[in-house]
């Protein structure tokens, strides 16, 4: 009952947030300097062609009227069509979203698996050698621009060493891709027992996931360390230490008590990386939601940009909801707060 | 998880990478090209990214340019027009009626043979859609298109037009397999435009097999193509948005062609034996345009002063890295009839004198607007700022979005006083190019270039059928434009196409897009 109330409250808060984002995206993109009509009409068009395209795109009416129509369509699950390809935006989101999700979930998952234990270990002896090395490493990884890191990874592992496969999509041209079930080539290959495609998909994932993982891992280590230092300094941990518990047990206790705030941070990290995926996708020709959204922004494809931003907003709402639920389960005391 | 477990996992992942690396893709007869984006549509009437690059390989015209131009006859001669999907044609004595006999055996991948009805349908579609095809129809002055018989079509022009046969080499207005297209027509969409945006129905060498937006498009050869079968029976078009990644791919032989490589990298790639760079001083010149609707550019002497105050040497070195060719006219080679009409050289004293004569002895201030339509716009704007300052002209470069630039420079707007622009045209015909770019009614006239004397010369050149007289008019028009001085002609950045080292057969065409049917890999 408590969880149901909690969920209802969160969803009630999310609705105006999403509506606000939809409104802002709709207005901001239109009051900017981009004119998709000029782009679609081409340099040879005359005034009548401009007017015709403007009408076709529903851009000849007042902004608020356009927005009301857009919202009415949204309520029916119609996100419009791409102005440049004519494909329904919803269909494109369904096709592109799992591609990005595969990349981001793997990166954040691996970054958490490594970053959380490293952060806790570093917190056990603040300013010790391990802590200093870790902090230096995390700061370095965090300071490197994603774009540059991707390019360097391609240069070293693909161009010079020839270890990595060509940064040209999610599966090699030489293998037959699996039928689409989940949208993740790796999972779909495993489901269909297409081992050649699975091998190729795994190889294609290594560099982009590696770069993304490094980017994600640095703040996870930093945040976990800060939280764990606080936990280690708490009364119950001091009592545990005084009681003679082993270092391993202490680490496990610290992990258990650090998890709720770390999980909340991971939620933030996951949503921000979903938005940041565009650059990694761009470098590795990944073809996911980020690359699709970035192209749309550059080409003034308003319907796609709106769909892209709405997807990111809804993803954030869902991720935070799941994280809050997980925290509720991990931290019974937070029931009362909820 | 212990730390050393994590380290072990990372090491294992690195080892896997090594083990899983794939060799260069080497399936014979498959051409892999690294492109900036997958095509957004295939209807030649509707401009969307990737459309022209793909449709020039799908749709072909009634005529074509013959071989025999410069470079030892290995390039096209743009004054030599040959039949292509037409077998022959006749012209009425008044030069207004063309009757084309269609070539036998021209078939689409669907097995339908080209007929006069297809030609008529193509024009009807363009008129209905009111887009690029209609524009070309108007440029060509096409009045009527009628089927004389199944394989004969008559096209009547409103007046004689030199451009007409050249423009029939283009992919627009194109020749659709109307029999197939009509199967996909609906009451709301009688010309199957929705189907043609996502599919192809042409008589050219390739047709689209599949498209995965954001990832790749696959084209396969038209098994019924009437001319020689292309070397490559399949073309895989991979979306590789990053230029650096495209370079890495072509250098390692993973792709046979990479498009839109920045000039900085072209210079380096020219010395690299693993790739082949094909360069040509075409299709257009990087210009700085002055709009005479806005003072002080309404004064001819001010415009000439700007032309003299431009440091051409510095632009050639700093902007075009020594790879450009100095532009000497509003017409550029290889357009027939191009002469060296643009006589301006850097001369600050002369520039100051002209400014004084125009009543501006202390120079003036202006804003030079540029966008990102072409890579050279920003460096050129900055170089112009430095260069014009020496003559007392204070320039503030201002970057605007491409869409804003396209909208404000359009013929119905003309609201930019001073801007950067590339002069180019799809048809290598002087009259067409001059009309398009410098005539008051020209579709690509971006700077309100309305000189009645020039317009008269251009109008005369379009209808003149005597070659000698025509060349004289074309030369006079170029000189008039140089004196009118609304264009600062800088350099032709050139077209630099990057291929894998084994690639041969590249032939530059005025649409400046790659024709896959001509490419061959010989190791």
**Where residue B434 falls among pLDDT bands split at 50, 70, 90?**
very high
| Cβ count within 10 A of residue B254 | 26
Nearest to B520 by CA among B248, B257, B223, B240: B257
Chain B: give the shortest CA distance to residue A145, in Å. Answer: 15
Cα dihedral B252, B253, B254, B259, rounded to 10, equals 100
Question: Are A174 and B2 within 8 A, CB to CB?
Answer: no
**How far is Cα A314 from Cα A321, in angstroms, rounded to an integer?**
11
Q: Do A206 and B20 touch (CB under 8 A)?
A: yes
Chain A CB contacts of B406 under 8 Å are 35, 38-39, 43
Q: pLDDT category, B19, cuts 50, 70, 90? A: very low
Min Cα distance B444 → chain A (Å) is 6
Q: Cα separation of B132 and B174, whole Å? A: 11
- Tell whether A206 is within 8 A of chain B (Cβ): yes
Task: Determine contact: A92 vs chain B, CB below 8 A.
Answer: yes
Q: Which two tokens stand for residue B225?
A: 């193509």
CB contact under 8 A, B215 and A287: yes
Q: Give the one of B21, B216, B252 whose C-beta lies nearest to A163's C-beta.
A: B21
- Residue A335 pLDDT grade (very low, low, confident, very high; cuts 50, 70, 90): low
Q: Which residues from chain B sit within 8 angstroms of residue A285, using beta carbons?
A: 215, 238-242, 245
Is B1 a residue whose pLDDT tops 60? no
Interchain contact A288–B (C-beta under 8 A): yes
Search chain B and give the residue with CA nearest A161: B18
pLDDT tens by residue, B325-383: 999 999 987 788 999 999 999 999 999 999 999 999 999 999 999 987 788 999 999 99
Say if strands B257-258 and B364-370 run parallel, antiparallel, or are unpaired: unpaired
Flag if A157 and B37 touch (Cβ within 8 Å): no
- Report yes or no: A51 at the B interface, CB cutoff 8 Å: no
**CB-based contact B48 A85, cutoff 8 Å:** yes
List of chain B residues whose C-beta atoms are within 8 Å of the C-beta of residue A46: 411-412, 443
Any residues with CB less than 8 A from the CB of A292 and at least 6 apart, and which? A92, A96, A304, A308, B213, B214
Q: Provide the pLDDT confidence category of residue B12 given band limits of 50, 70 and 90.
A: very low
Q: Please compute the mean of the pLDDT values over residues B148-170 and round it to a whole number.
A: 92
pLDDT band, very low/low/confident/very high, at B62 (cuts 50, 70, 90): very high
**Which strands make up the sheet holding B487-492, listed edge to edge?**
B325-326, B487-492, B285-290, B418-423, B364-370, B393-399
At A337 the pLDDT is: 56
Show residues of chain A in contact with B265, CB under 8 Å: none
Residue of A90, A103, A120, A173 to mutate, testing the B interface (most B Cβ within 10 Å of its Cβ): A173
Q: How many residues does chain A have?
A: 338
Between CA A314 and CA A94 the distance in angstroms is 14
Identify the pLDDT of residue B405.
83
Q: Who among B13, B132, B135 is closest to A206 (CB)? A: B13
Beta-carbon separation of A168 and B34 below 8 A? yes
CB contact under 8 A, A282 and B25: no
Give the residue among B512, B28, B516, B510 at the shortest CA–CA distance from B229: B516
How many CB pairs lie under 8 A apart between chains A and B?
187
pLDDT reported for residue B41: 92
Q: Which two tokens stand for residue A203?
A: 């190889």
Q: B17 vs A166: CB contact, 8 Å cut-off?
A: no
pLDDT tens for each residue of A45-101: 667 777 888 888 888 889 899 999 999 999 998 998 888 777 899 999 999 999 999
Return the bridge partners of B149, or none.
Answer: B152
Shortest CA gap A13–chain B (Å): 35
Average pLDDT, integer, range A21-39: 81
Residue A76 Cα, gap to closest chain B Cα (Å): 23
> Which residues, other chains included, contact B84 with Cβ-Cβ below 8 Å and sequence gap of 6+?
B60, B61, B62, B63, B64, B103, B169
Tokens 């004084």 belong to which residue?
B356
Of B18, B49, B254, the CB nearest to A163: B18
Whether residue A34 and residue B404 make contact (CB cut-off 8 A), yes or no, is: yes
Q: What is the 3-state secondary structure (H, E, C) of B363-391?
A: CEEEEEEECCCCCCHHHHHHHHHHHHHCC
Does residue A248 have a pLDDT over 90? no
Tell me how far the alpha carbon of residue B436 is from its chain's centroid. 13
CA Rg value for chain A: 24
Query: Residue A93: closest CA among chain B residues belongs to which residue?
Result: B213
When pLDDT is averaged across residues A290-296 and rounded to a whole number, the result is 91
Around B487, how many Cα atoms within 13 Å sit in the side-chain half-sphere?
Answer: 32
Q: Which two tokens stand for residue B499?
A: 């291929």
**Cα separation, B249 vs B235, whole angstroms:** 16
- In the stretch 124-183 of chain A, residues with CB closer than 8 A to chain B read 151, 154-155, 157-159, 161-170, 172-174
Question: For residue A210, which phi and psi values (nearest 5 degrees)?
Answer: -60, -50
DSSP A88: B
Per-residue pLDDT reduced to its tens digit, B465-504: 788 999 999 999 999 999 999 999 999 999 999 999 999 9
A129-160 confidence digits (pLDDT tens): 999 999 999 889 888 888 899 999 999 999 99
Binary contact (A200, B251; C-beta < 8 A) = no
Cis preceding linkage at A327, omega within 30: no
Does the ipTM exceed 0.90? no
Query: In chain B, what percentage of residues exceed pLDDT 70?
Result: 93
Q: How far apart are CA A68 and CA A14, in angstroms?
A: 20
A6 close to B406: Cβ distance less than 8 angstroms = no
Exposure string (b/e) for B80-96, b if CB count within 10 Å is 16 or more? ebebbbbeebeeeeeeb
- Return d(Cα B169, Cα B426) in angstroms, integer: 10
- CA B231 vs. chain centroid, Å, equals 25
Helix axes A247-283, A89-124, angle to 10 degrees: 140
Q: Is the Cβ of A111 closer than 8 Å to some Cβ of chain B?
A: no
How does strand B257-258 pair with strand B495-500? antiparallel
Q: Contact A50/B412, CB-based, under 8 Å?
A: yes
> In the structure, what pLDDT confidence band is assigned to residue A259 with cuts at 50, 70 and 90?
confident
**pLDDT per residue over A158-172, tens digit each?**
999 999 999 998 999
Q: Does A246 touch chain B (CB under 8 A)?
A: no
* A117 neighbourhood in chain B, CB within 8 Å: 1-3, 6
What are the C-alpha distances in Å from A162 to residues A156, B22, B77, B274?
8, 9, 44, 15
Chain B hits for A295, Cβ within 8 Å? 37, 214, 241
A98-125: string of b/e by CB count within 10 Å (b at 16+)?
bbbbbbbbbbbebbbbbbbbbbbbbbbe
Percentage of residues in chain A with pLDDT exceeding 90?
53
What is the pLDDT at residue B3? 44
Residue B472 C-alpha, separation from nearest chain A C-alpha, in angstroms: 28
Q: Look at B82 and A28; give whichever has higher pLDDT.
A: B82
Q: Which residues of A touch B236 (CB under 8 A)?
A: 173
* Averaged pLDDT for residues B126-150: 90
- Residues A81, A85, A91, A95, CA torsion sign: negative
Task: Decide if B195 contacts B135 (C-beta within 8 A).
Answer: no
For B13-141, where are the E strands, in sequence order? Answer: 30-35, 63-67, 76-83, 86-91, 97-102
Report the pLDDT value the prediction gives residue A129, as an integer from 0 to 100. Answer: 93
Q: Distance between CA A74 and CA B114 in Å, rounded? A: 45
Long-range CB contact pairs, B378-385, < 8 A, 24+: B379/B318, B379/B319, B380/B286, B380/B288, B380/B315, B380/B319, B380/B420, B380/B490, B381/B420, B383/B311, B383/B314, B383/B315, B383/B318, B383/B319, B384/B288, B384/B310, B384/B315, B384/B488
Mean pLDDT of A235-244: 90
Two structure tokens written together for A54: 């403007």
Closest CA to B416 of B300, B285, B288, B286: B288
Question: End-to-end distance of chain A based on CA atoms, in angstroms?
Answer: 12
CB nearest B6 (choices: A86, A95, A114) = A114
Read off the pTM.
0.85
pLDDT of residue A33: 64
**What is the 3-state secondary structure of B117-168?**
HHHHHHHHHHHHHCCHHHHHHHHHCEEEEEEEECCEEEEEECCCCCHHHHHC
Q: Average model confidence (pLDDT) for chain B?
A: 90
Q: Which residue of A has its CA nearest to B214?
A: A287
Spatial distance between the Cα atoms of B520 and B523, rounded to a whole number of angstroms: 10
Local structure of A199: helix, strand or coil: helix
B210: cis peptide before it, omega within 30°?
no
Work out the angle between the directed axes of helices B467-484 and B430-438 (0-180°, nearest 10). Answer: 30
- Alpha-carbon dihedral angle through residues B357, B359, B364, B369, given to the nearest 10 degrees: -70
CA distance B467 to B43: 36
Nearest beta carbon to residue B241 from set A45, A154, A285: A285
For residue B165, count other CB atoms closer than 10 A to its CB: 20
Four-residue CA torsion sign, B127, B133, B134, B137: negative
Residues of chain A neighbouring B37 (CB-CB closer than 8 A): 295
Q: Mean pLDDT lowest for which of A91-95, B4-8, B127-131, B242-246?
A: B4-8
> Is the predicted pLDDT of residue B174 greater than 50, yes or no?
yes
* Chain A: closest CA distance from residue B345 (Å): 31
Separation of alpha carbons A126 and B109, rounded Å? 71
Q: Does A255 touch chain B (CB under 8 A)?
A: no
CA diameter of chain A = 84
User: Which residue, B44, B63, B56, is CA-closest to B155?
Assistant: B63
């Amino acid at each position: 009952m408590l969880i149901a109330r909690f969920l209802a409250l969160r969803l009630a808060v999310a609705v105006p947030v999403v509506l606000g984002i939809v409104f802002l995206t709709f207005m901001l993109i239109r009051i900017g300097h981009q004119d998709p009509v000029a782009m679609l009409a081409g340099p040879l068009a005359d005034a009548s062609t401009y007017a015709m395209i403007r009408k076709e795109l529903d851009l000849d009416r007042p902004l608020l009227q356009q927005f009301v129509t857009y919202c009415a369509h949204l309520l029916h699950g119609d996100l419009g069509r791409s102005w440049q390809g004519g494909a329904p935006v919803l269909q494109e989101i369904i096709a592109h979203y799992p591609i990005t999700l595969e990349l981001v979930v793997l990166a954040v998952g691996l970054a958490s698996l490594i970053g959380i234990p490293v952060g806790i270990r570093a917190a056990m002896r603040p300013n010790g050698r391990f802590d200093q090395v870790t902090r230096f490493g995390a700061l370095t990884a965090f300071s490197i621009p994603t774009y540059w890191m991707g390019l360097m990874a391609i240069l070293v592992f693909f161009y010079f060493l020839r270890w990595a496969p060509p940064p040209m999509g999610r599966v090699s041209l030489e293998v037959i891709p699996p039928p689409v079930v989940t949208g993740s080539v790796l999972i779909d290959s495993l489901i269909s027992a297409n081992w050649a495609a699975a091998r190729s998909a795994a190889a294609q994932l290594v560099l982009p996931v590696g770069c993304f993982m490094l980017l994600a891992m640095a703040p996870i280590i930093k945040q976990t360390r800060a939280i764990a230092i606080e936990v280690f300094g708490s009364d119950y941990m001091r009592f545990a230490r005084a009681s003679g518990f082993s270092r391993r047990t202490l680490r496990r206790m610290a992990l258990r008590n650090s998890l709720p705030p770390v999980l909340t941070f991971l939620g933030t990290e996951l949503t921000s990386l979903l938005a940041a995926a565009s650059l990694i996708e761009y470098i590795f020709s990944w073809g996911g939601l980020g690359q699709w959204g970035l192209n749309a922004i550059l080409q003034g494809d308003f319907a796609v940009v709106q769909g892209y931003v709405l997807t990111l907003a809804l993803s954030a709402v869902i991720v935070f909801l799941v994280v809050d639920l997980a925290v509720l389960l991990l931290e019974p005391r937070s029931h009362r707060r909820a | 998880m212990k730390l050393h477990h994590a380290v072990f996992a990372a090491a294992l992942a690195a080892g896997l990478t090594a083990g899983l690396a794939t060799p260069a893709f080497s399936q014979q007869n498959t051409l892999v090209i690294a492109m900036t984006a997958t095509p957004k549509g295939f209807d030649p009437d509707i401009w969307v990214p990737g459309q022209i690059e793909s449709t020039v390989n799908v749709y072909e015209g009634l005529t074509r340019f013959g071989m025999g131009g410069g470079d030892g006859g290995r390039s096209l001669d743009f004054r030599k027009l040959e039949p292509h999907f037409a077998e022959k044609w006749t012209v009425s004595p008044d030069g207004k009626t063309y009757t084309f006999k269609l070539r036998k055996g021209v078939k689409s991948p669907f097995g339908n043979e080209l007929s006069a009805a297809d030609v008529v349908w193509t024009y009807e579609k363009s008129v209905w859609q009111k887009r690029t095809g209609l524009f070309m129809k108007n440029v060509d002055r096409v009045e009527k298109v009628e089927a004389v018989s199944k394989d004969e079509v008559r096209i009547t022009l409103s007046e004689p037009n030199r451009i007409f046969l050249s423009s029939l080499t283009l992919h627009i207005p194109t020749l659709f397999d109307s029999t197939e297209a009509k199967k996909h027509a609906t009451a709301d969409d009688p010309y199957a435009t929705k189907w043609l945006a996502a599919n192809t129905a042409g008589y050219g060498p390739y047709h689209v097999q599949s498209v995965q937006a954001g990832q790749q498009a696959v084209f396969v050869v038209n098994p019924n193509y009437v001319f020689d079968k292309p070397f490559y029976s399949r073309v895989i078009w991979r979306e590789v948005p990053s230029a650096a990644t495209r370079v890495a791919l072509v250098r390692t032989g993973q792709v046979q062609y990479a498009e839109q490589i920045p000039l900085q990298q072209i210079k380096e790639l020219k010395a690299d034996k693993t790739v082949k760079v094909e360069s040509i001083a075409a299709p257009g010149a990087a210009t700085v345009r002055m709009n005479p609707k806005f003072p002080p550019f309404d004064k001819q002497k001010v415009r000439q002063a700007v032309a003299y105050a431009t440091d051409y040497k510095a632009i050639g070195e700093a902007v075009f890295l020594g790879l450009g060719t100095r532009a000497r006219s509003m017409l550029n080679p290889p357009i027939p009839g191009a002469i060296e009409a643009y006589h301006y050289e850097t001369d600050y004293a002369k520039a100051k004198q002209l400014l004084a004569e125009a009543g501006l002895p202390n120079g003036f201030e202006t804003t030079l607007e540029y966008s990102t339509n072409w890579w050279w716009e920003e460096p050129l704007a900055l170089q112009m700022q430095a260069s014009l300052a020496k003559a007392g002209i204070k320039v503030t470069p201002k970057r605007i979005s491409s869409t804003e630039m396209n909208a404000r420079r359009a013929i119905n707007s003309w609201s930019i006083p001073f801007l950067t622009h590339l002069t180019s045209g799809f048809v290598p015909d002087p009259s067409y190019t001059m009309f398009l770019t410098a005539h008051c009614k020209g579709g690509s006239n971006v700077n309100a270039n309305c000189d009645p004397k020039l317009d008269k010369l251009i109008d005369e050149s379009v209808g003149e059928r005597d070659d000698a007289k025509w060349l004289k008019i074309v030369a006079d028009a170029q000189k008039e434009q140089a004196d009118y001085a609304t264009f600062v002609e800088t350099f032709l950045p050139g077209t630099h196409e990057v291929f894998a080292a084994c690639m041969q057969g590249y032939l530059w065409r005025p649409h400046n897009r790659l024709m896959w049917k001509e490419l061959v890999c010989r190791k």
